[in-house]
Protein backbone atom coordinates (compact mmCIF):
# COMPACT_ATOMS: atom_id res chain seq x y z
CA UNK A 1 0.00 0.00 0.00
CA UNK A 2 1.43 3.39 -0.97
CA UNK A 3 2.04 6.11 1.59
CA UNK A 4 -0.66 8.27 -0.03
CA UNK A 5 -3.30 5.53 0.13
CA UNK A 6 -2.35 4.59 3.69
CA UNK A 7 -2.46 8.26 4.74
CA UNK A 8 -5.87 8.71 3.14
CA UNK A 9 -7.30 5.63 4.85
CA UNK A 10 -5.79 6.67 8.17
CA UNK A 11 -7.26 10.18 7.85
CA UNK A 12 -10.72 8.67 7.30
CA UNK A 13 -10.26 6.41 10.33
CA UNK A 14 -9.19 9.41 12.40
CA UNK A 15 -12.33 11.27 11.29
CA UNK A 16 -14.54 8.39 12.39
CA UNK A 17 -12.69 8.11 15.71
CA UNK A 18 -13.05 11.86 16.30
CA UNK A 19 -16.81 11.58 15.80
CA UNK A 20 -17.01 8.71 18.29
CA UNK A 21 -14.69 10.42 20.77
CA UNK A 22 -16.65 13.66 20.68
CA UNK A 23 -19.89 11.77 21.21
CA UNK A 24 -18.30 10.03 24.21
CA UNK A 25 -17.08 13.39 25.55
CA UNK A 26 -20.55 14.89 25.23
CA UNK A 27 -22.25 11.94 26.88
CA UNK A 28 -19.69 11.74 29.68
CA UNK A 29 -19.78 15.50 30.24
CA UNK A 30 -23.55 15.41 30.50
CA UNK A 31 -23.44 12.56 33.05
CA UNK A 32 -20.48 13.40 35.28
CA UNK A 33 -19.81 17.08 34.62
CA UNK A 34 -17.70 19.03 32.17
CA UNK A 35 -14.36 19.23 34.00
CA UNK A 36 -14.77 15.72 35.34
CA UNK A 37 -15.20 14.35 31.81
CA UNK A 38 -12.16 16.28 30.58
CA UNK A 39 -10.14 14.76 33.42
CA UNK A 40 -11.36 11.21 32.76
CA UNK A 41 -10.70 11.43 29.02
CA UNK A 42 -7.22 12.89 29.46
CA UNK A 43 -6.42 10.37 32.19
CA UNK A 44 -7.28 7.55 29.77
CA UNK A 45 -5.01 9.06 27.12
CA UNK A 46 -2.26 9.56 29.70
CA UNK A 47 -2.46 5.93 30.80
CA UNK A 48 -2.41 4.49 27.28
CA UNK A 49 0.44 6.71 26.08
CA UNK A 50 2.29 6.17 29.38
CA UNK A 51 2.15 2.39 29.01
CA UNK A 52 3.38 2.68 25.42
CA UNK A 53 6.30 4.90 26.50
CA UNK A 54 7.18 2.49 29.31
CA UNK A 55 7.21 -0.42 26.87
CA UNK A 56 9.32 1.45 24.31
CA UNK A 57 11.74 2.94 26.83
CA UNK A 58 10.47 6.49 26.55
CA UNK A 59 10.95 6.90 22.84
CA UNK A 60 12.13 10.39 21.99
CA UNK A 61 10.33 12.03 24.91
CA UNK A 62 13.40 13.97 26.00
CA UNK A 63 13.39 16.00 22.79
CA UNK A 64 10.43 18.05 24.04
CA UNK A 65 12.88 20.71 25.22
CA UNK A 66 13.81 21.50 21.61
CA UNK A 67 10.21 22.09 20.55
CA UNK A 68 8.89 25.66 20.19
CA UNK A 69 7.17 26.81 23.38
CA UNK A 70 3.76 27.23 21.76
CA UNK A 71 3.47 23.59 20.71
CA UNK A 72 3.55 22.65 24.39
CA UNK A 73 0.09 24.28 24.69
CA UNK A 74 -1.45 21.21 23.04
CA UNK A 75 -2.58 19.82 26.41
CA UNK A 76 -4.35 23.07 27.25
CA UNK A 77 -5.97 23.10 23.83
CA UNK A 78 -7.06 19.50 24.36
CA UNK A 79 -8.89 20.58 27.51
CA UNK A 80 -10.65 23.32 25.53
CA UNK A 81 -11.58 20.86 22.77
CA UNK A 82 -12.88 18.10 25.03
CA UNK A 83 -14.56 20.56 27.39
CA UNK A 84 -16.09 22.48 24.50
CA UNK A 85 -17.47 19.37 22.87
CA UNK A 86 -18.67 18.12 26.23
CA UNK A 87 -20.65 21.33 26.63
CA UNK A 88 -22.08 21.81 23.13
CA UNK A 89 -22.94 18.24 22.06
CA UNK A 90 -25.78 17.77 24.57
CA UNK A 91 -27.13 21.20 23.58
CA UNK A 92 -26.91 21.35 19.77
CA UNK A 93 -26.19 17.71 18.81
CA UNK A 94 -23.26 15.76 17.48
CA UNK A 95 -23.58 16.61 13.78
CA UNK A 96 -23.94 20.36 14.36
CA UNK A 97 -21.09 20.39 16.88
CA UNK A 98 -18.67 18.55 14.63
CA UNK A 99 -19.75 20.46 11.51
CA UNK A 100 -19.13 23.82 13.17
CA UNK A 101 -15.82 22.68 14.64
CA UNK A 102 -14.54 21.13 11.40
CA UNK A 103 -15.60 24.18 9.37
CA UNK A 104 -13.76 26.42 11.81
CA UNK A 105 -10.73 24.12 11.60
CA UNK A 106 -10.66 24.26 7.82
CA UNK A 107 -11.05 28.02 7.62
CA UNK A 108 -8.47 28.67 10.36
CA UNK A 109 -6.10 26.17 8.71
CA UNK A 110 -6.40 28.03 5.41
CA UNK A 111 -5.54 31.28 7.21
CA UNK A 112 -2.54 29.68 8.96
CA UNK A 113 -1.37 28.23 5.62
CA UNK A 114 -1.83 31.57 3.87
CA UNK A 115 0.44 33.39 6.31
CA UNK A 116 2.70 30.42 7.10
CA UNK A 117 2.49 31.04 10.84
CA UNK A 118 3.03 28.64 13.77
CA UNK A 119 5.02 26.26 11.58
CA UNK A 120 2.35 25.88 8.88
CA UNK A 121 3.52 25.45 5.31
CA UNK A 122 2.75 28.62 3.37
CA UNK A 123 0.00 28.05 0.82
CA UNK A 124 -1.74 31.22 -0.36
CA UNK A 125 -5.50 31.60 -0.31
CA UNK A 126 -6.48 31.64 -3.97
CA UNK A 127 -9.84 32.22 -5.63
CA UNK A 128 -10.60 28.47 -5.75
CA UNK A 129 -9.86 28.24 -2.00
CA UNK A 130 -12.14 31.19 -1.30
CA UNK A 131 -14.86 29.49 -3.33
CA UNK A 132 -14.28 26.28 -1.36
CA UNK A 133 -14.62 28.20 1.90
CA UNK A 134 -17.88 29.72 0.69
CA UNK A 135 -19.24 26.28 -0.26
CA UNK A 136 -18.11 25.02 3.15
CA UNK A 137 -20.01 27.84 4.87
CA UNK A 138 -23.16 27.07 2.88
CA UNK A 139 -22.84 23.37 3.73
CA UNK A 140 -22.31 24.24 7.39
CA UNK A 141 -25.42 26.40 7.41
CA UNK A 142 -27.48 23.64 5.76
CA UNK A 143 -26.39 21.09 8.38
CA UNK A 144 -26.69 23.33 11.44
CA UNK A 145 -29.92 25.20 10.66
**2-56 pLDDT tens trace:** 999 999 899 889 889 988 998 999 899 999 999 999 999 999 999 999 999 999 9
Burial class (CB in 10 A: 0-12, 13-18, 19+), 125: middle
| Between 37 and 1, residue with greater pLDDT | 37
Model's pTM, two decimal places? 0.80
- The pLDDT tens digits of the residues spanning 87-110 come to 999 999 999 999 999 999 999 999
User: Residue 140: its pLDDT value, please?
Assistant: 95
Q: At what angle do helices 3-32 and 74-92 cross, to 10 degrees?
A: 70
Amino acid sequence: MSVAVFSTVLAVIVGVVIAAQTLFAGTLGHRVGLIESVFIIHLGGFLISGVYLLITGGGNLGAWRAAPWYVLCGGFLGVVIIGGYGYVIPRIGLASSITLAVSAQLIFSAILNHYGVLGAVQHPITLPRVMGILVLLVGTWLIVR
